[in-house]
Amino acid sequence: MTIGAEPANLSSGSFANPEAAIVEFDRSTITTNGYQLALVEDPQWRRVVGSARDIGVGSDGSVWVIGTDRRGGGYGIYRWNGSDWNRLEGGAVRIDVDPEGNPWIINSFDDIFHYVNGNWQQMPGSAKDVGVGVDGSVWVVSRGGGVNWTGERWEGVGGSGVRVDVDQNGAPWVIGRNDDIFQFVAGTWESRPGDARDIGIGGDGSVWVIGTRRRGGTSGIYSWADGNWNPVSGNATEISVDADGFPWIVNQSGDIYTSH
């Protein structure tokens, strides 16, 4: 891995109006396929210092982001210490976190790394995104489709995608190249309604997506319930969900919000 030279904190940005990115939905007009949907309980969004391009939350509660400062291999890698971000050596473009709080990353060369005993360990293969389940299952999406880490090698299951996360049973959900949403069920990819640009799954099994402006949609935030996507307040581009089902998001401006 190419390592950046100088440590740097994430930029704190402007806090003149930290809630400016959060938009309330008109509850009387939210419809999907002609059916009005009831909102799930709105998250209480709180701005977190810094800016980011991607975010990953482990089931142990640890939060990691890919920053906005360019580094060899992508952008800076940071861990939340409760009040600020501590930078780790290296650079990446995508991140998720295992149950012990150790990140898996994809860098700008599609290389895969896992942080083990304080060091980056390069894994075989290449990928575009990585997702880790509460049970420790690790999946990536690559040019050849969805791939599962067995602990010794990657095993492909076919299909293709650009985003992936893993449910509480160790099965992946994938966002396809055309923004379609798929769930891997009993060895088969099953299509889910709607379209999305990112997906996050909590340790409690809750599934969240960021919508897309394609097909007349928005980059709103949606929670999966009873076979439908139910919108909540806010807009974002990236999402990750903690063990209790509380999402963390990054919006188009790189602002970071938590609902915890």
State how far the Cα of 174 lies from the Cα of 180, in Å rounded to an integer: 8
Q: What pLDDT is recorded for position 31?
A: 41
User: Could you tell me if 122 and 112 are in contact, meaning their C-beta atoms sit under 8 angstroms apart?
Assistant: yes
* Residue 83 DSSP symbol: S
CA distance 235 to 250: 9
Report pLDDT digits (tens) over 47-77.
999 999 999 999 999 999 999 999 999 999 9
Paired sense of beta strands 145-149 and 172-175, if any: unpaired
pLDDT tens-place string over residues 195-238: 999 999 999 999 999 998 654 555 899 999 988 999 999 999 99
For the stretch 155-168, pLDDT in tens is 888 878 899 999 99
Read off the DSSP letter of residue 102: -
Sequence-distant (6+) residues with CB within 8 A of 239 are 55, 198, 199, 200, 208, 209, 210, 221, 247, 248, 249, 250
* CATH superfamily label, 45-258: TolB, C-terminal domain (2.120.10.30)
Q: What is the pLDDT of residue 40?
A: 58
Tell me if the pTM is above 0.85.
Answer: no
**DSSP label at 187?**
T
* Strand ranges across the sheet with 74-80: 54-57, 63-71, 74-80, 85-92
